[in-house]
Amino acid sequence: PRAPPPPCPGAAVSQVTVRDALNQALDEELERDERVFLLGEEVAQYDGAYKVGGGRARAGSGARAGPDCLCPAPQISRGLWKKYGDKRVIDTPISEMGFAGIAVGAAMAGLRPVCEFMTFNFSMQAIDQVINSAAKTCYMSAGSIAVPIVFRGPNGASAGVAAQHSQCFAAWYGHCPGLKVVSPWSSEDAKGLLKASIRDDNPVVMLENELLYGVPFEVSEQAQSKDFIVPIGKAKIERQGTHVTLVSHSRPVGHCLEAAAVLAKEGVECEVVNLRTIRPMDIETVEASVVKTNHLVTVEGGWPQFGVGAEICARIMEGPAFNYLDAPAVRVTGADVPMPYAKILEDNCIPQVKDIIFAVKKTLNI
């Protein structure tokens, strides 16, 4: 995990891990609205698989602990069961289709469930509930039935968990109308987007990153307020630049900032855009940056074909910013293979800082 950027001068800040930011958001929203409740595997008595609120890797999952996943596992719903009780924080059996269906039905009935998948790879067990039940019901009922639900959990590659536990679902869920899809990087992103997602009347898929859970970020005094939210559908400029636009989401945002710091020593100023929301995508912010820098590089951990970067490139080509490009847009993605288990192969399947630097120099022809 990469070091977070320095805080703005004069701002009152403190260090908060992504795990603690998510826990704060859940606590504040459970307290604020009695309709909110949590459910998932080991979110209650065990304090959460990732202690956000969820539990250990399931027996037989083949998961191998990474550097941030040592027992006890990262805790996200830590302390919430003791504070709010069995009716608000609910342990479920290992049956994603079952408890996701319960959560969708509860949302249709007027509650506001937060449904945790121990990893989004397991959400494929419940994809009918997420897409056919949650995403489409408001449209199919002519707006008469809202489904205010949040599906959240770790997404993308962790460490040493191989092909069946390492997929990025940003493009999968971003493809589907009826869903909102958010993908936080920093602690501020995580807290603000989770609170906004819980308050939203639409189904929201929140794609977190397990390797970020234990990473501390500077969080401003404003972001620690109970009223703080990050608007869904609004990207953030993490670093100003003039030569090339780097667009990313989730953990690769940190890689982009590190690459930008290296390139700055060579006289190349990168503008780093943290998407934060995959759907609806804030293409206006990306367009404005491309108009300024005249170059575009997208960075993501997912596969290249039909990916988030492919969508960004298509939208830029179809819009007014295309005429400002001085070179073709370049995508940096995960390798187009199932994730290997061996660490050296895994490292070569995930975008690294050196890959971003190479792509920037390629698009700038230097």
Query: Do 82 and 218 fall into the same domain?
Result: yes
Average pLDDT over residues 191-197: 98
Tell me whether residue 271 is one of the annotated catalytic residues. no
Q: What is the DSSP string of 198-265?
A: HH-SS-EEEEE-GGGTT-EEEEETGGGSTT--PPTT--EEEE--SSEEEEE-STHHHHHHHHHHHHHT
pLDDT single digits (tens) 292-332: 999 999 999 999 999 999 999 999 999 999 999 999 999 99
**54 within 8 A of 4, measured Cβ to Cβ:** no
Q: Is residue 284 part of a domain?
A: yes
User: Which one of the listed residues 28, 29, 42, 96 is annotated catalytic?
Assistant: 96
Which of 28, 165, 208, 287 is labelled catalytic? 165
Is residue 325 domain-resident? yes
Is 39 part of any domain? Answer: yes
pLDDT of residue 58: 41
Q: Which of 175, 192, 224 is the last residue of a domain?
A: 224
Whether 86 and 165 map to the same domain: the answer is yes
CATH, residue 351: 3.40.50.920
Predicted local confidence at residue 13, as pLDDT: 74
239: closest CA among 219, 199, 269? Answer: 269
Q: Which domain holds residue 258?
A: 236-364
Stretch 335-343: mean pLDDT, rounded?
96
Nearest to 81 by CA among 57, 109, 116: 116
List the CATH number of the domain containing 211.
3.40.50.970
pLDDT of residue 52: 58
The answer to whether residues 218 and 104 belong to one domain is yes
Residues 249 and 329 in one domain: yes
213 and 324 assigned to the same domain: no
Neighbouring C-beta atoms of residue 319, cutoff 10 Å: 14
Q: To the nearest whole number, what is the mean pLDDT of the chain?
A: 91
User: For 259-286, what is each residue's pLDDT tens digit?
Assistant: 999 999 999 999 999 999 999 999 999 9
Please say if 96 is a catalytic residue.
yes
Q: What is the pLDDT of residue 112?
A: 98
Q: Are the C-beta atoms of residues 48 and 37 closer than 8 Å to each other?
A: no
What was the pLDDT predicted at 47? 64
In a domain, 293, yes or no: yes
Q: Is the pLDDT of residue 5 over 90?
A: no
Q: Are residues 87 and 179 in the same domain?
A: yes
Q: How many domains does the chain have?
A: 2
Q: Which of 201, 224, 247 is the last residue of a domain?
A: 224
177 and 294 in a single domain? The answer is: no
Last-in-domain residue among 183, 202, 224 = 224
Lowest average pLDDT, out of 54-68, 79-93, 122-136, 260-274, goes to 54-68
3-class DSSP assignment, residue 140: helix
